[in-house]
Chains A and B, each alone.
Chain A
Amino acid sequence: MSGFRLEKGGRIDRSRPLSFTFEGVSYEGYAGDTLGSALMANGVSMLGRSFKYHRPRGLLAAGLDEPNAIMQLEDGAQARPNVKATGVELYDGLRAAPVNAWPSLSFDLLSVNSMFARFIPAAFYYKTFMWPHWSLFEPAIRRAAGLGVSPEASDEDIYDKRYAACDVLVVGGGPAGLQAAQAASRSGARVMLVDHDAQWGGSLMASNRHVGQDPADDWIGRVVEELRAAPETQLLNRTLAFGFYDHGLVGLCERLTDHLPLAERSGPRLRFWKVRAKSVILATGAIERPLVFPNNDRPGVMLAGAGATYAARYAAAPGRRAVFAVNNDSGYESAAVLRRLGVDIAAIADARPGLSAKGAQMAASGINVFTASTITNVRGGKKVRAAELHKLDDDGQAVKGSAALVECDTVLTSGGWSPVVHLYSQAGGKLRFDEQIQAFVPRECGQHVLCVGAAGGEFSLTQGLADAARAGAAAARDCGFDAADIEPATVDGEAFGNIRPIWQVDVSGLAGERGKAWLDFQNDVTSDDVALAIRENFKSVEHVKRYTTLGMASDQGKTSNVNGIGVMEGALGKPMAQVGTTTFRPPYDPIEIGAFAGRRVGENIAPLRPLAAEDAHEMLGARFEDYGGWRRPAFYAQDGEDEHAAVRREALAVRDGVGLFEASPLGKIEVAGADAREFLNRFYVNNMATLKPQRCRYGVMLDENGVVLDDGVLACLGPNRYLAGTTSGHAALIADNMDEWLQCEWPDLDVVVQEVTTNWAVMNVNGPRARDLLRKFDCSIDLAAEAFPHMHVREGEIEGVACRIQRVSFSGELSYEVAVPWGFGASFWAALMDAGREFGVSPFGVETLMALRVEKGFLHVGADTDGMTLPQDIGFGGVISRKAADFIGRRSTMRPDSLRDDRRQFVGLECLDGSAKPLTVGAHVLLPESAPPALTQGWVTSSVYSAALGKPVALGMVANGRERIGEEVKIWDRGVSRRARISAPGAYDPEGKRLHV
C-alpha cells in the first residue's frame, strides 16, 4: 500500500467525509475525490486485472485516459459496468467492484494465463482452436473475455435530449478554454463552454502556477464568474463533448446525477445535447504518454502528470518515495509539485543527454538527476519496490553495466504529450506529425474548428493563452460579432522543453530476463506483439491495431496509440508521419446507450394513434392492437369469448343485420385544382378521367417500378375536387408521393394536395340494416337506394354537423362510410350505437372486417400483395389495356418479366380436406405430387374461417393462378400438407347482389 492522504491541501472538502466500498471493504474519502483518488488515498494500489493475462494493475492516469482502473459500480437497476475509477466523482455510499477478476482481485485464477504468455502472443487465436472445431473452445474464451457485467435489471433512469445552437462552442474548461470563452463571450456572441470535469481549471488545478500575479485559482474564479454573468454564455460542467459530426454538430453528454448518492438522485440522469455551433474551439488539452519499458504495468507505475494531479488536486500522494523517468521537462514540474507536498524524490532519470534548465534546477536542489538514463525494469509484483535505471547510449539502447537500483514505492514516467485531437479528427480534420513535440497535431479541417492550447500542440501556457484569446475573438468575429482582442493572461513556468523520443526502452543489450513492456495496458498489448505483427506483414497501422488489438480497449488507446506508432516507426524503419494514425471515432469516451435513446423508450418509440371513439371501444371490450401505428380494436370480446368466437359473432351480425366499425384511420387525401383530374389520371392505373362528381371509383396506384403501392376509393366531390382514399398505413406516403410528382415532375399542373386523414372521423355502418340505422338520424342526404347508389359519395349534414358519406363496401354488404369532423367522432359513435340498439347493432373490429373481405375475395394491399406485385397480377390487366394515357409505373408493367405468363396471380384457395381450420397464411402452394425441397408455386396471403359459409376460405398468389382455376394443389406449412383447389377469389355472394340493395 503505497498511496496515502496528504495532511493538507487539495481541492477536497475535508469537512465532508464520504464512505464507500471497494470489493466489499469500506473506505473513506472526501467530497471532491474521484473514486480513483479516494482509493489511492486509502493505499489501495491494485484496482484491476488486465483483459488477457489478468496482470494486477493500478492507476495509470487521473482522467478519461485511464486504461486500468475499470470498475463495476452498484448493482441491480443502478449497475454501471466498465466505468473508469478516475472519471467517477465519489459520493457517499458508493459501491465499487473490480472487473475481470475471479474469485478476487488479489487471487485471480485466470492470472495463470500469464504463465502461458509465451504461447499466446498477439492474435494466437487465429492460428489454433481449429481442431476439432472452434465451437469446442469458443464458450470458454467467451467466458474469459469481457470486462464488467451487463446490468441484470431494467434501467429505471430517464435520459433527456436537448438541441442547442450557438455561435462559439468551446470544449475544455482548462486555461486555454476559459481564455477563449472569455474572449468570445465579451463580444456578446452566444458562447457555450463545456468540460467533462465537475470543476473548472483543467491542468491549472494540479499545478502551483500563477496567472499574472495571482494564484491560478483566483484567475479561474474570476473568469468563471464573468462567464456566468454573461447573458449569452452558457457553462456546462460534467459535460463531455463526445463526438464531432457534420456541419458543426457536436454531441455532448451531461451527467446530471451520477455524482450524487443514490438516494438523492432524481430527475434525468444524463442529458444528451446536440449542439449546432457556427464555430468550435477545442481546448481539450493533451494526454501524457507512459514510457514503455519492462514491467511498466506494475501497480504504482503511473504517469508523472497524473501523480502530480492526485497529490495537488486530491491530496492523495501515489507514494512516499518516487522515481521519475522522463524524456521532456514536464516531468520535472510534476516532480516539483510532489516534492513540495512532501513526497521524497529518489531519482529522476532523464533520457536526454544534457541537463535542461529545469533539470539543472532540480539537481541543484539536491535531487539525483541521471541524464541520458532511463528506467529499464520495475521490481515488485502487486506494488513497486524498486526501479532499475540504466544509461542510454546515443542509439537509445540501455548500456550494460550502468545499472542503478533505486528503492521506491512509486514510479512516475513522462514520455511526452499527445494533443487531444480526437474531435478535430472526427470533424474531418487532417493531422500532421510535429517533430518538435513528437506528436500528431492539427493541420487543416473543412469545418469551422480550431484547436488551442495543448490541444493545438502549444505546450507553453502563456503562448497557449495568447492563442486562445485570439481564437476566441476571431471565432466571434466570424459569427458577425464585433469582438475586440483581449489581453491574454500570462502564466509563470515554461513549456516542456525539447523531447527525446524513447518509444520503447531498448533493453536487448542487458543481462537477464526482463518482463514484457506494455503499450496497451487494458488489452495487454506489448511491444513484442507489435514486432510480431510486423514480422507477419501486418504493417499498416490499422493492421497492427486489429492484429494486436492495440488501442481497441475501452480507453480506445488514449495512452497507447502514439507509443504504438512510435514502436512501429522503429520496427518498420518508417517515420511516424508516414505510419499515420488509426481513425478517431466517436464517442471520445463511452456513452450510455440509454442516452442515445433518450426519451424514445416504451410507447414513445412510436406513439400509437388513438381512434376518435377510443373510450367507447374500450368500454365495449375491444381487444386493441397496433395496426400500422393505430391503436385499433382487433375484435370485441364478450363474456370471455376468444378471438375466433368474437370474429364469428361479429361477422354474422354484419351479414345478418348491421355492424359498426370505426374506420377513421382510412387514409384521406384531398386533391383539388384545375388539373386535378389530369393528375389523378396519371396517378392511378385506372382511368380516372371519366369519373363524374358524386361518384366513386376503386383504383390502384403504382410506384414507377410498376409495383402496387396502394389501393383505395377515389371520390369525386365536385368539379376539380377529389377525395383519395388510401389504406390506413399509407396516407402520408401517398400524399408525399403526390407532392413529389407535382413539384418535381409536373410543376405545370395546377393541383393542391392535402392529407386530411385526422380531420375526419369515419364510422362505417355496415350490413343489410345499415340504411335503416342511418335513417334514424336527421340527415340532409337522401339515402334511398336509387338516390344514393353503390359507389357514390355525398356531402351534407347529419344532425347539423358537416358530413361526407361514401357508399362503398369492403364487406360485400350495404355499407356507408360516414365522415364527420374528428371532434364529433366519439359522440357520433355513441349515437350510432344508441340508435342501432333496435337493430341489434354490433361493433366489429379489424379482424372481423378482414374476415368479411376475405370471404368476398377483396384484395388487401400489403397482405395479398408485396413489393413484387404488378397490377396485372391482381387482375388489372384489362383496365390497363383499355386505358390509353400513361400513368406512373405503366412502362414497368410492359417489361419482359412483367409479361411472363407464369407470374403469381391473385386467386382464391378452397380447402378440400373438410377441416374447419383455416389455412396458414404464409403456407406455400405446391404441385400435388411435389415434396420439399421444391419450387414454390406461390403462397397463402389471407385466410379466415367464414362464418357465413361455414368453412375456411383463403386467398393467395399462385403462379399463373387465373389460368389454373379448378386445379388441385398442395398447401404446405412446415411439413404439413393440406389439399386445396385454386378458385376465383370471392366465395361469398360472388355476383355481388348484396351490394346493390
Chain B
Amino acid sequence: MLQISCPYCGARAEIEFRCGGQAHLERPGPHDQVSDRQWAEYLFYRDNPKGVSLERWVHRFGCRQWFNVARSTLTHEILAVYGMGEQPPQLEGTKR
C-alpha cells in the first residue's frame, strides 16, 4: 500500500487517493481542427513507462486537491510530488 505525500495534508495511505493517469497531457483543440489521430493520441495513447512515471493524483478522501507525482512503476518509489501546472523536476529516467 503506497504512502503518498499530499502537498496539502501530508503523508497518507493509498486508499485516500485516486490516480488520474499520465500527467502533462495537452488537450488538443479547437475541436473542429483536431484530427482523429490526434484525438486518439490524447484520449488513449500513453507513455506507460517501466520506470519513472509522471502522473496526476487527487487526494480524493481528503482535501480533494490534484497534484503531480513522479513515481517508479517498477519499485513504486515516489521520487517527487509537485503542483498542478508545475513542470516536473529533473529526474533520472524521466522522458521529459
- Contact of A276 (CB < 8 Å), options: B3, B43, B84: B3
Q: A246-B2, A247-B3, A247-B76 in contact; A891/B39 too (CB < 8 A)?
A: yes
Check A739 against B39 for contact (C-beta < 8 Å). no
Please state if B39 and A895 are interface contacts (CB–CB under 8 Å).
yes
- One of A247, A248, A886 near B30 (C-beta < 8 A): A886
Contact, CB under 8 Å: A886 / B31:
yes
Task: Point out the residue from A246, A276, A740 that lies within 8 Å of B76, measured CB to CB.
Answer: A246
A790 at the interface (CB under 8 A from B): no
- How long is the Cα–Cα vector from A246 to B66 in the complex, in angstroms? 22
A428 interface residue per 8 A CB criterion: yes
Cβ of A896 within 8 Å of any chain B Cβ, yes or no, is: yes
Contact A891 B2 (CB under 8 A): no
Of A199-207, A509-517, A743-751, A971-979, the one touching chain B: A743-751
A743 to B84, Cβ gap below 8 A?
A: yes
Cα A894 to Cα B28 in complex, Å, equals 14
The reply to whether B84 and A892 contact each other, CB–CB distance below 8 Å, is no
Of the candidates A274, A743, A745, the one whose C-beta lies within 8 Å of that of B27 is A745
Known contacts being A890-B31, A891-B39, is A747 close to B84, with CB within 8 Å? yes
Q: With the chains together, A446 CA to B75 CA distance in Å?
A: 8
Chain A residues with CB below 8 A from B56, complex form: 744
A867–B36 Cα distance when bound, in Å, is: 20
Does A705 interact with chain B (Cβ within 8 Å)? yes
Question: A747 contacts which chain B residues (CB < 8 A)?
Answer: 84-85
Q: Take A705-B43, A890-B31 as given contacts and tell me if A249 and B3 are in contact as well, using a CB distance cutoff of 8 Å.
A: yes
Contact B58 A739 (CB under 8 A): yes
Across-interface contacts of B78 in A (CB, < 8 A): 247
Neighbouring A residues of B32 by C-beta, 8 Å: 894
Which B residues are CB-close (under 8 A) to A163?
A: 13
Closest to A895 in B: B36
User: Known: A704-B43, A892-B43. Contact between A245 and B1, CB under 8 A?
Assistant: yes
Q: Does A736 contact B (CB under 8 A)?
A: yes
What CA separation (Å) do A895 and B34 show in the bound complex?
A: 11
Tally chain B residues at the interface, Cβ within 8 Å: 29
The distance in angstroms between the C-alpha atoms of A733 and B84, with both chains bound, is: 21
Complex CA–CA separation, A631 to B76 (angstroms):
40
The A728-746 residues at the B interface (CB cut-off 8 A) are 736, 739-740, 743-745
> Closest residue of chain A to B28, judged by CB?
A891
B-facing residues in A427-449 (Cβ within 8 Å): 428, 446
Is B65 an interface position by the 8 A CB rule? Answer: yes
**CA A246 – CA B56 in complex, angstroms?**
19
Question: Which residue of B is nearest A884, CB measured?
Answer: B32
CA A890 to CA B42, docked complex, whole Å:
14
Chain B nearest Cβ from A570, distance in angstroms: 34
Q: Which residue of A lies closest to B58 (CB)?
A: A740
B42 nearest CB across to chain A (Å): 8
Bound-complex Cα distance A891 to B39 (A): 7
Which of chain A's residues has its CB closest to B78's CB?
Answer: A247
Contact of B1 with A246 in the complex, beta carbons under 8 Å: yes
The residue from B2, B18, B29, B36 contacting A247, defined by CB atoms under 8 A apart: B2
The answer to whether B66 and A740 have CB atoms under 8 Å apart is yes
CB contact under 8 A between A743 and B2, given known A886-B31, A891-B39, A892-B39: no
Q: Which residues of chain A have C-beta atoms less than 8 A from B36's C-beta?
A: 895-896
Kindly state the separation between the CA atoms of A740 and B32 in the bound complex, as whole angstroms: 24
The residues of B that contact A745 with a CB separation of less than 8 Å are: 27
B95: A residues at CB distance < 8 A: none
Contact A744 B20 (CB under 8 A): yes
- CA–CA, A743 and B66, complex, Å: 7
Tell whether A886 pairs with B1 under 8 Å between CB atoms, given A747-B85, A895-B39.
no
By a CB distance below 8 angstroms, the chain B residues around A276 are 3, 13
Q: Which residues of B contact A705 (CB under 8 A)?
A: 43
In chain B, positions 55-96 with a C-beta closer than 8 Å to chain A are 56, 58, 60, 64-66, 75-78, 84-85
A249 to B77, CA, bound (A): 13
The one of A247, A446, A743, A891 in contact with B34, judged by C-beta atoms closer than 8 angstroms, is A891
Residues 1-24 of B contacting A (Cβ, < 8 Å)? 1-3, 13-14, 18, 20
**Residues in chain B near residue A896, CB distance under 8 A:** 36
Which residues from chain A contact B3 at a C-beta distance below 8 Å? 246-249, 276
Residues of chain B in range 32-55 having any CB-CB distance to chain A below 8 Å: 32, 34, 36, 39, 43
Residues of A contacting B28 with CB < 8 Å? Answer: 891
A417 CA / B88 CA spacing, docked (Å): 48
- For A891, list chain B residues within 8 Å (CB): 28, 31, 34, 39
Distance (Å) between the CB of B15 and the closest chain A CB? 10
A704-B43 Cα distance, complex, nearest whole Å: 8
Rounded to whole Å, the gap between the CB of B36 and the closest CB of chain A is 6
Bound CA span A704–B44, Å = 11
Bound CA span A891–B1, Å? 37
Which of A163, A744, A886, A890 has the largest number of chain B CB atoms within 10 A? Answer: A744
Contact A744 B2 (CB under 8 A): no
A872-888 contact mask (Cβ, 8 Å, vs B): 1 or 0: 00000000000000100
User: How many Å from the CB of A444 to the closest CB on chain B?
Assistant: 12
The listed residue (B31, B65, B75, B76) touching A743 by CB distance below 8 A is B65
B55 CB to nearest chain A CB (Å): 12
CB neighbors of B among A272-303 (8 A): 274, 276
- Using CB atoms, name the residue of chain B closest to A274: B1
> How far does the alpha carbon of A699 sit from the alpha carbon of B64 in the complex, in Å?
26
Q: In the bound complex, do residue B43 and residue A428 qualify as a contact, i.e. CB atoms below 8 Å apart?
A: no
- With both beta carbons as reference points, the residue of chain A lying nearest to B38 in the complex is identified as A891
Q: Mark A239-250, 1 if CB is under 8 A from B, else 0.
A: 000000111110
User: Nearest CB to that of A251 among chain B residues?
Assistant: B1
Whether B75 lies near A428 (C-beta < 8 A) is yes
A425 to B: closest C-beta gap in Å? 14
Known: A744-B20, A744-B56. A886 touches B29 (CB 8 A): yes
CA distance A276 to B12 in the complex (A): 10
Cα distance A276–B16 when bound, in Å? Answer: 15
Name the CB-closest residue of A to B33: A891
> What sequence of 0s and 1s flags, for each residue 152-181 of chain A, a beta carbon within 8 Å of any chain B beta carbon?
000000000001000000000000000000
* Complex CA distance for A247 and B71, rounded to whole angstroms: 12
**If A249-B3, A704-B43 touch, does A739 touch B75 (CB 8 Å cutoff)?**
no
CB distance from B48 to the nearest CB of A (A): 18
B18: which A residues are within 8 A, CB to CB?
736
Residues of B within 8 A of A890 (CB): 31
Contacts of A428 in B (CB 8 A): 75
Question: A895 vs B31: C-alpha distance in the bound complex, in angstroms?
Answer: 11
A446 near B43 with CB under 8 A, answer no
Tell me which residues across on chain A come within 8 A of B85, comparing CB atoms: 747
Q: Are A744 and B84 in contact (CB under 8 A)?
A: yes
Cα separation A274 to B64 with both chains bound (whole Å):
24
Asked whether A740 lies within 8 Å of B20 as measured between CB atoms, the reply is yes
Complex: A249 Cα to B13 Cα, angstroms = 10
- Cβ-closest chain B residue relative to A732: B60
Within 8 A of B (CB), among A794-831: none
Please give, as numbers and ranges, the residues of chain A lying within 8 Å of B20 by CB-CB distance.
740, 744
B64 to chain A: which residues have CB within 8 Å?
Answer: 736, 739
Considering only residues 202-256 of chain A, those with a C-beta below 8 Å from chain B are 245-249
Mark out the residues of chain A between 741 and 780 whose CB falls within 8 Å of any chain B CB in the assembled complex: 743-745, 747
Q: Give, as a whole number of angstroms, the nearest-CB distance from B62 to chain A.
A: 12
What separation, in Å, do the CA atoms of A341 and B84 have in the docked complex?
71
Shortest Cβ distance from residue B11 to the other chain A in the assembled complex, whole angstroms: 8
Best-surrounded residue of B2, B27, B60 (most CB of chain A within 10 A) = B27
Contacts of B58 in A (CB 8 A): 736, 739-740, 743
A560 to chain B, nearest CB (A): 30
A340 → B minimal CB distance (Å): 48
In the complex, 5 of the A-B residue pairs with CB atoms within 8 angstroms, ordered by the A residue number, are A246-B2, A740-B58, A743-B58, A743-B66, A895-B39
Other than A247-B2, A274-B1, A740-B58, give 4 A-B pairs with Cβ distance below 8 A.
A246-B1, A446-B75, A743-B84, A744-B56
Sort A-B residue pairs by CB-CB distance and give the 6 closest, nearest first. A247-B3, A743-B66, A891-B31, A886-B31, A249-B1, A246-B76
Binding site for A on B (CB under 8 A): 1-3, 13-14, 18, 20, 27-32, 34, 36, 39, 43, 56, 58, 60, 64-66, 75-78, 84-85
